[in-house]
Chain A
Amino acid sequence: MKYLMTTTAAAMLCASAAWAETPVLKVYTYDSFVSDWGPGPAVEVAFEETCNCDLQFIGAGDGAALLARIKLEGQRSEADVILGLDTNLVAAAKETGLFTTHSVAAEYSLPISWEDDVFVPFDWGYFAFVHNVDMQAPANFRALAESDLKIVIQDPRSSTPGLGLLMWVKAAYGDEAPLIWTDLADNILTVTKGWSESYGLFLDGEADMVLSYTTSPAYHLIAEEDTSKAAASFDEGHYMQIELAGKLANSKEPELADQFIAFMVSDGFQSIIPTTNWMYPAVTPTAGLPDGFDTLILPQKSLLMSPEESAAVRDEALDEWLSALVQ
C-alpha cells in the first residue's frame, strides 16, 4: 500500500517534472471551454506565443462545480487561475478566502459598470431558451409552463446557466417563483449536470428547447451556416451572465497568473471569444463583433442581481426549485 502511494506520488511528480524548464500555468475552467470547438485551444496558442510558458486548461465540470472543486482542493490546489465563475458565485467564492486581488484595468463593454478587486470579467451574455425556428416559441415563463413543450435545463448546483435560470425566475417573479417552478416541472424533460449535456440532448432532438444563451444561434449561423435555431425572447426580460476569472492566492506562478488575466482582457483573447465561446466579449475587440451577431435578439429588459443579492436568495431559491421538481 505504501508502495502504491509512493508510486502514485512519484508518477505525478514525474509528470510535472518533465515540464520543469518552462513554467506551467494551470487554469481550471468549465468543460466546454476546453473542448476542441471551445476557446481553449486557440487561447492556449495565443498566450503561449507571448508568455514563454506552458498554459494548461483543465476542465473541471461546469461552472458551479468548479467552485466546489476549488473548495475541495483548498490550499493544496495546483490551480493558478479559475476561469468560468459568474456574478452569482462571486460571494461564495470570496468566502473561501482562496482568491486574491488583481490589478487589471480595462475598458469593459459590459452593459453594467464592473468594479471588483478579485474577479475580472472575460465575457457576458443573456440566458435564453434556444429552439428550432419552425416552432412557435412561448413569450414568457407562464406561456412556457402552460405549453406542452419539453425543455432541458441544467442543475443550479453544478452549472452556472442552471443557477442563472434560478436567479432569472427569482428576479422576474420574486415570491411567485415557486409557483412558476411548480408549473414548469412537467415541461422539464431532464436536468443535466452541465451545459454541454443539455445542448447535446437538444441538438439530438430530445427536447424542444434548451436553456442556453441569446448568442447560441450565432454558432449555428456562423459556424454551420444553419439558420434553423433561434433564441426565444421572453417579455419578463432576460437574466444576464457575466463570466469571471480570478487568481488563487496559493498560485505558484503569481506573475504568470497576473499576465494571463491581463491577456484575458486584451484583443488576443477577446477576439477569440465570440466565435468559440459564443458569448459577447467583455472588451469589444478592435475588429468589432463578427457578422451574424447583429441578427441576435436583444432583450427588452435585462435582469441581474448583485453578487450580494444573489448570494442572499440562492439557498432559498434552490430549495424552492428542488421542492417543485420533486413533486
Chain B
Amino acid sequence: MVKRAGAIGGPIVSGAVFALILAALVAVMSKANWPISFGVSDWAVVRFTIWQAILSASLSVAFAIPVARALARRQFQGRSALVTLLGAPFILPVIVAVLGILTVFGRTGWSSQLLGIFGLPPLSIYGLQGVVLAHVFFNMPLATRLILQGWQSIPTEQFRLVGQLGLPPYEVFKTLEWPLLKQVLPGALALIFVICLTSFAVALTLGGGPKSTTIELAIYQAFRFDFDLGRAAILSILQLVLAGTSAMLALWILPPIVLQSGFDRPLMRWDARGNFLRILDAIYIGVATIFLILPLSAVVVYGLIGLVKVPSTVWFAAWTSTWLAVISTGLLIIMALPVSAWLGGSKKGGAETLTLLGLAASPLMVGTGWFIIIYPLADPQYFALLVTALVNAIMALPFAVRVLVPGMRQSLVDYGRLNISLGLHGFLVWRIVLLPRIRTRLGFAAGLAAAMSVGDLGVITLFANPEWATLPLQMYRLMGSYQTTAASGAALILLVLALGLFWICDYWGRYAES
C-alpha cells in the first residue's frame, strides 16, 4: 500500500521532470542551424571545458587525500567544526565564494600583497588558473568528505593489527589504504569532473575571455551577446552529449551521499604516532583550513564594511531570491517525496537514472529550451522566476533523492508489513510512518535545495530583464559595474541568506528528534 502511494506519484513526477527536460531539448533542436558547423573557436571551447574539468577533479582529489587521511587519524579540538566546514561549499553561493577568492588570490588580493613584500610578482587569477582554483575550493571539501567516509569504513581493528605487526607507514598504505582509495577515488574524480563540466558562474566571473570559455558560458554568450538562438541550441546539444556521456560513466562509480553524522569519529592509528607524521598531518589540515576559511572571512569582513553602501535594489533582490528559494524548495519537496518513496520501495537503480538526468541536463540548456518554447507565446521575462524556481528544483532533485532514498527504504522495510496488517495506506502512511522517520533527511535535503536555489546564478541570467534581479545576479551586476564595496555587502547578505535558509530547514528536520 505504501508502495502504491509512491508507485503512482513517483513515476508521474519522474515522467514530468523528464518531459520538462525533453521539451527543452526538442525546442533547442528545432532552433539549431543544421548542419552543425564547428569553427576553431568552438573546438577550443570544448577543449577548455574538458581540460579544466580534468584539472579541477584531479587537483581537488589530490589535495583531498592527505587532508582526509589526516582528519581520519587525528583527534584535535575543532575537528568536528572543520568537518562541518567541509560541508559548507555545498550550500555556499558560487558568486560569494568567487568574490572571496578574488579578495584573497586576486592580483591586488591578500596573497599578491604578501608576495609583493618578498618582491614577487602578483598572482594572475583570470583564466584557467582562476577557474580551476575556484573549482578546487568547491570540490576539494566534497572529495575530502567522500574519501574520509571511505577511510572511516576501515575497521579500527585492522589498524590495531598492523600496529601490532609494526608495519611501516608505506606497508600500511599498501595493505589497508590503497585498496580503499582504489574504491573511492574513481567515484570522487568522476563526480567532480561532471560537476565542473557544467560549471557556469565560475567561468562567467573568473574566465579570461575566449581562451577560457566553458560550453555553458558559450551558451550564455550566444544568448546575451548575439541573441543567436541557433548557436545557443547547438552548444546546448553539445553540452548534453558531453555531460550526459560523462555522467553515465560517472554513475557506475558514484559514491552515495551520506549525512554528516558518523564523520566525527577519528580512527585510532597505532602506525601514525610519529612526530613527523603528526606535523605533516597538522600542515595538511592547517593548509586546507586556511584555504577554506580565508575567502569566507574576506567575504564577512568586507561584507560588513560594504553593508552600509548596499543600494535598495540589493534588498529588493534579496527578497525576490528568498521567496524564489521558498517556492523552489516547495517544488523540490513535492517532487522528491513521491520519487524517493517510489525508488525506496523498488529494487534499485532508479535513483541513479534520475541523478544522471540531473547531472547531464545543464541548467542553461533547459533554460534556453524553455525560453524558446515561451518566447513566441508570451514575454519570457514574466516566466523568469517560475522557470528559475523549477530548474533549481530539478537540479536539486538528484541530491535530495540520494539523501532521502536510504531513509525511505529503511522505513519501508521496517514498517511495510505492519502498515499492510494495520490497513494503513495513502496519506496516513505518509503522516504516521514515513514523514516522521525521514524528517531529518527531508530537512537536510530541503536545506540543500533552498541554499542552492538562493545562491544560483544560472538560468536567471538568460531571462532576467534589466529592471529586477535575484540577489546573485544583482551582486554580479555590482561587481561588473565595479561597485566592489556594495557587491561585498550584497555577498554577505547572500551568504547569510543561504546559510540561514539551510539552517532553518535542517533545524526543522532535527527538531523532531529531540
Q: Are B482 and A76 in contact (CB under 8 A)?
A: no
Instruction: Please give, as numbers and ranges, the residues of chain B lying within 8 Å of A76 by CB-CB distance.
Output: 379
B108 close to A (CB within 8 Å): yes
Residues of B within 8 A of A322 (CB): 39-41, 210
Q: Does A28 contact B (CB under 8 A)?
A: yes
A236 within 8 Å of B (CB atoms) = no
Interface positions of A from 262 to 320, Cβ below 8 Å from B: 319
- Whole-angstrom distance between the alpha carbons of A158 and B225 in the complex? 5
Q: Which residues of A contact B379 (CB under 8 A)?
A: 73, 76
Q: Specify which chain B residues have a CB less than 8 angstroms from the CB of A32 in the assembled complex.
A: 481
Shortest CB-to-CB span from B366 to chain A, Å, is 16
A103-B126 Cα distance, complex, nearest whole Å: 47
Question: Smallest distance from the beta carbon of B466 to chain A beta carbons, Å?
Answer: 4
Does B224 have its Cβ within 8 Å of any Cβ on chain A? yes
Interface string of B122-147 (1 = CB under 8 A from A): 00101100000000000000000000
- The reply to whether B481 and A323 contact each other, CB–CB distance below 8 Å, is no
Contact of B127 among A73, A190, A323 (CB under 8 A): A190
Among B41, B126, B385, B481, which residue has its beta carbon within 8 angstroms of that of A35?
A: B481
Interface centre among B108, B221, B225, B389, by most chain A C-beta atoms within 10 angstroms, is: B225
> Are A60 and B466 in contact (CB-based, < 8 A)?
yes
How far, in Å, is B463 (CB) from chain A's closest CB? Answer: 10
Produce 1/0 per residue, B170-201, CB < 8 A to A.
00000000000000000000000000000000
Residues from chain A with Cβ under 8 Å of B226 in the complex: 68, 157
A44 CB-CB contact with B under 8 Å: no
- B233 at the A/B interface (Cβ < 8 Å)? no
Give the distance in Å from the alpha carbon of A170 to the alpha carbon of B165 in the complex: 75
CB distance from B185 to the nearest CB of A (A): 32
How far does the alpha carbon of A322 sit from the alpha carbon of B467 in the complex, in Å?
A: 31
Within 8 A of A (CB), among B418-469: 465-467
Nearest neighbor of B221 in chain A, beta-carbon distance: A157
Which of A28, A199, A325 lies in contact with B210, CB distance below 8 A? A325
Q: Is A31 an interface residue (CB 8 A)?
A: yes
CB-contact partner of B225 in A12, A65, A190, A323, under 8 A = A65
Segment 1-60 of A: residues with Cβ below 8 Å from B? 1, 4-5, 8-9, 12, 28, 31-32, 35, 58-60
Within 8 A of A (CB), among B1-56: 39-41, 44-45, 48
Give Cα distance in the complex from A190 to B382, angstroms: 35
Q: How far is the CB of A222 from chain B (nearest CB, A)?
A: 20
Which of chain A's residues has its CB closest to B43's CB? A326
Q: Interface on chain A toward B: helix, strand, loop, or mixed SS?
A: helix
List residues of chain B with CB within 8 A of the CB of A28. Answer: 466
Is A71 in the interface zone, CB < 8 Å from B? Answer: yes
Interface pair A200/B482, CB less than 8 Å apart: yes
Q: Give bound CA distance, A326 to B225, whole Å.
A: 18
Q: Given A60-B466, A68-B227, A72-B227, do A1 and B208 touch, yes or no (CB 8 Å)? A: no
Q: Which of A69, A188, A191, A319 has the largest count of B CB atoms less than 10 A from its CB?
A: A191
Q: Are A326 and B211 in contact (CB under 8 A)?
A: yes
Task: State whether the Cβ of A210 lies closer than 8 Å to any Cβ in chain B.
Answer: no
User: A180-194: contact bitstring with B at CB < 8 Å (1 yes, 0 no)?
Assistant: 000000001111011
> Could you give, for residues 159-181 of chain A, a 1 whenever the CB lies within 8 Å of some chain B CB and a 0 otherwise?
00000000000000000000000
Task: List chain B residues, Cβ under 8 A from A189.
Answer: 124, 126, 208
A59, A189, A326: residue with the most chain B Cβ atoms closer than 10 Å? A326
Q: Are A71 and B386 in contact (CB under 8 A)?
A: no
Instruction: Name the B residues within 8 Å of A319 (CB-CB).
Output: 39, 41
B508 contacts partner chain A, Cβ-Cβ < 8 Å:
no
A4 to B208: give the CA distance in the assembly, Å: 38
Contact of A5 among B45, B221, B382, B465 (CB under 8 A): B382
State how many angstroms separate the Cβ of B426 from the closest Cβ of chain A.
24
Given the complex, which residues of A lie within 8 Å of B39, measured CB to CB?
A: 319, 322-323
**Shortest Cβ gap from A321 to chain B (Å):** 8
Residue of B nearest to A34 (CB): B481
CA distance A72 to B225 in the complex (A): 10
Are B386 and A1 touching (Cβ within 8 A)?
yes
Q: A221 → chain B, closest Cβ, in Å?
A: 20
Q: Which residues from chain B contact A1 at a C-beta distance below 8 Å?
A: 386
Q: How far is the CB of A253 from chain B (nearest CB, A)?
A: 17
**Is A217's beta carbon under 8 Å from chain B?**
no
| A31-B481, A323-B39 known; A12 vs B382 contact (CB < 8 Å) | yes
For residue A96, which residue of chain B has the nearest CB? B227
Q: What is the CB-to-nearest-CB distance from B131 to chain A, in angstroms, rounded to a whole number? A: 12
Q: Are B224 and A326 in contact (CB under 8 A)?
A: no
The winner among B48, B127, B224, B383 for most chain A CB atoms within 10 A is B224
12 contacting pairs across A/B (C-beta < 8 A)? A4-B327, A58-B467, A59-B466, A64-B225, A65-B224, A68-B227, A76-B379, A197-B480, A197-B482, A200-B482, A319-B39, A321-B210
Nearest 3 interchain pairs by C-beta = A191-B209, A326-B44, A200-B482
